[in-house]
Structure 1
Amino acid sequence: MYFEGRVSGTGVGIVLNDSAADYDVQVDGTTVATLVTPGNTTHWINGLSNSTHTVRLVKRNDTPGDTSTFGGFVAAPGGAVLSKPAARNRQIEFIGDSLTVGYGNLSTSRTCTWDQVKRNTNSDMSYGALTARQLNADYQINGYSGLGMVRNYDGGRSDVTYRTFYDRALLNVSGDVWQNPGTWRPQVVVVNLGTNDFSTAVKPGEPWTPDNFAAAYRSAYGDFIQKLRTRYGADTTIVAVGAGQYAGHVQQVVKTRNDAGDSRVRYWFLDDSGLDFLGCDWHYSARDDRLIADRLTPFISGLPAGW
């Protein structure tokens, strides 16, 4: 999540009410402050040259159990909040789990406390954010750590999956539905869900056997692609990412869609060669995120995205 604005004058205030998430504040392309669980505050960046500045606020980590409130930018005395920057012509949506969020990607150790995970997660340096910037696209990262398409990490929370939360704006409010203002019409949607589904073995007591679990995953994946197709229309290209144990299943889902006449569903194999997985708990490091973005960007550039 990020917000961009323009102000004139020698300072800008960022109005926030969030005791759970961390934020970076960027002025004229440079990070000038990191706000760690800022609470209910107006954080001021002062001492700027008396001129026009761009300001960007970016939420670094996923905090699905809490509500984050951004109250806007305010100008220092003598300055003014100017008209908003023009929206970019390109829009990309990234859907996934902790690997898409950027979980622990700034860490120098795979072993992290929960507090270290939060401090060392930076979605602005995730492969999705980096890919979008390389393509000069506005983007959404819709990621939820630990959740899968039909099965969560180690079979946890069997009553919910990622799909339970996709429609929501406030993830901690059951029944909440995000209302698209009509301006979000992504030409490309990238789906990377399956690591949590397959990274741990199905255990006794779960609602699947090892045999029918993969079929349930493929069926739910196909339904989710249809949901995206209905939401965004026939012209949006949906990129289904395959990696590790779930790559072949995703490939089958894409082939089924293609055979049914939907050529704008594309398969992309996430090549993990050269990745060090040095982020917290064996997640992507910031270096890995850059490598993945450098591999994904040319693939998306080659799509008939209509931009």
Structure 2
Amino acid sequence: MKRQWKTVMAALMLAGQACAWAGVAVQADDAQLQYTGRIDFADPARPMLSWPGTSIEANFTGASLAVRLDDQLGKNFFNVFIDGDLAHPVVIEAAKGSKSYAVATGLQPGAHRFLLTKRTEGEEGGTWFQGLELADGGKLLAPPPRKQRRIEFFGDSITTGMGNESPDDGPDDRLKDKNNFMSYSSITARALDAEAHITSQSGIGVMISWFPFTMPDFYDQLSAVGNNDTHWDFRSWTPDVVVINLFQNDRWLVDREKRLQPMPDDAQRVAAYRAFVQKIRALYPKAYIVCALGSMDAVQEGSKWPGYVRSAVDQIRAQSGDARIDTIVFPFTGFGGHPRVKQHQANAAQLTAFIRQKMGW
């Protein structure tokens, strides 16, 4: 009888361990996962996400979902949306190192959908995606169809969404308040049902940045973590539309901070911007290029910087006959900080209408 009781206890302990470890591990290289953005697949079992707005999406079954991440610095934030509820993300504050994050429990039987997006950017470091954990019996289904339209954004903190969820009267440099998903760039892409690549970095400029590299140094990297020697394969993904929103940091650093000496004259400013746009045109000869500026004080009344952008575009048109390029200026509202979500929404509405008209979308 004593031996029988021990056998029953052992069976119960094993059953408990089985429950504790029950579940289905989905590896990061599963073909049913859909990745979007400049993602480093050097190790397919641990792809690295660094650019803002990079995303992973899938359809699945099972009552629960957890995400496994290995964060480089412990500074990144992510959104996870379940079943298309874009108004109520589960926000992951990634801890440094490898960790599993439960993002959904108690789901009903049947098919579900998840979307993970990177809120933060390369200055917060990279994050290695290590896969998913589904409830026991769960599985991945065929992924959602890829969007047919493509837009790439080259920009600074405005394009990233720096401080967009900060209170109007509060600081806008807290990492938790940076949410690329609610930036004008990502909002525009969703409105146009387009896949987006967000090639942006807070503080970056064309001629000068708040750090020792500029967008002409940075735009061709696979990894967004600082100035590095990684290389993005531009042949792997070609946008239909390119939006360039740069020169806000140049305006501050050149005119206000006097960081460039000798001070570039108007012609040199126009030439620097034109040279970068021509790099993008060489990469994407068929794309429609939108040279944007705003909505911070580079576009305030009396500013010369919108004129620099327009002059550069006019010169490109005159020299090459390029008809697939134009300018747009997001108006300055007088708000002194980074644009908040409501300003991003207004800018996105303006840009969406502009692209619809130009592209027939």
- Quickly name the TM-score band, shorter chain normalised: 0.7 to 0.9
Corresponding position of 1:163: 216
Corresponding position of 1:104: 163
Whether the 8 Å contact between 2:172 and 2:338 is mirrored in structure 1 is no
Larger RCO, structure (CA 8 Å, separation 6 or more): 1
Q: 1:231 aligns with which of 283, 286, 300?
A: 283
Whether the 8 Å contact between 2:150 and 2:194 is mirrored in structure 1 is yes
Whether the 8 Å contact between 1:74 and 1:81 is mirrored in structure 2 is no
Whether the 8 Å contact between 2:234 and 2:283 is mirrored in structure 1 is no
- Give CA-to-partner distance per residue, 1:50-95, whole Å, 9 cap, x none: 2111100011112325222223334322010122221101111111
- Give CA-to-partner distance per residue, 1:263-304, whole Å, 9 cap, x none: 1111112223xx363xxx701011101111111111000113
Alpha-carbon distance, 1:9 to partner: 1.6
Find the structure with the greater CA-based Rg: 2
Whether the 8 Å contact between 1:6 and 1:54 is mirrored in structure 2 is yes
Query: CA distance change for structure 1 residues 16 and 239 in 2, over 3 Å: closer, same or farther?
Result: same
Matched, 1:207 2:266: no
Query: Percentage identity across aligned positions?
Result: 29
Following superposition of structure 1 onto structure 2, how do residues 14-163 of structure 1 map, counting pairs within 5 Å? 14-18=67-71, 19-30=74-85, 31-39=88-96, 40-44=98-102, 45-64=104-123, 66-112=125-171, 114=173, 117-152=174-209, 156-157=210-211, 159-163=212-216
- Give CA-to-partner distance per residue, 1:227-260, whole Å, 9 cap, x none: 212222x220010013413100000011111112
Whether the 8 Å contact between 1:168 and 1:178 is mirrored in structure 2 is yes
* CA distance in structure 2 between the partners assigned to 1:252 and 1:11 by the alignment: 55
* CA distance in structure 2 between the partners assigned to 1:204 and 1:288 by the alignment: 29
Query: Aligned letter for 1:82?
Result: L
Query: Aligned letter for 1:222?
Result: R
Corresponding position of 1:7: 60
* CA distance in structure 2 between the partners assigned to 1:2 and 1:276 by the alignment: 33
Alpha-carbon distance, 1:111 to partner: 3.8
Q: 2:231 aligns with which of 177, 180, 185?
A: 177
Whether the 8 Å contact between 1:250 and 1:267 is mirrored in structure 2 is yes
* CA distance in structure 2 between the partners assigned to 1:205 and 1:84 by the alignment: 49
- Give CA-to-partner distance per residue, 1:137-175, whole Å, 9 cap, x none: 1111111111111122xxx43x41122211112233621
Matched, 1:258 2:317: yes
Alpha-carbon distance, 1:180 to partner: 4.5
Moved over 6 A (4+): none
* CA distance in structure 2 between the partners assigned to 1:220 and 1:139 by the alignment: 26
Whether the 8 Å contact between 1:73 and 1:81 is mirrored in structure 2 is no
* CA distance in structure 1 between the partners assigned to 2:342 and 2:317 by the alignment: 34
Whether the 8 Å contact between 1:14 and 1:74 is mirrored in structure 2 is yes
* CA distance in structure 2 between the partners assigned to 1:204 and 1:198 by the alignment: 10
Q: Classify the secondary structure of the residue corresponding to 2:75.
A: coil
Which runs of 5 or more residues in structure 1 are unaligned?
A: none
Q: Classify the secondary structure of the residue corresponding to 2:359.
A: coil
Query: CA distance change for structure 1 residues 299 and 106 in 2, over 3 Å: closer, same or farther?
Result: same
Whether the 8 Å contact between 2:165 and 2:177 is mirrored in structure 1 is yes
Corresponding position of 2:11: none
Please report the RMSD computed on the Cα atoms of aligned residues, expressed in angstroms: 2.1
Alpha-carbon distance, 1:213 to partner: 4.3
Whether the 8 Å contact between 1:149 and 1:193 is mirrored in structure 2 is yes
Query: Aligned letter for 1:28?
Result: D
- Give CA-to-partner distance per residue, 1:99-146, whole Å, 9 cap, x none: 1111111111444274xx211111100001111111111111111111
Which runs of 5 or more residues in structure 2 are unaligned?
A: 1-53
- Aligned pairs, number: 291
Query: Aligned letter for 1:237?
Result: Y
Whether the 8 Å contact between 1:242 and 1:248 is mirrored in structure 2 is no
Whether the 8 Å contact between 2:163 and 2:172 is mirrored in structure 1 is no
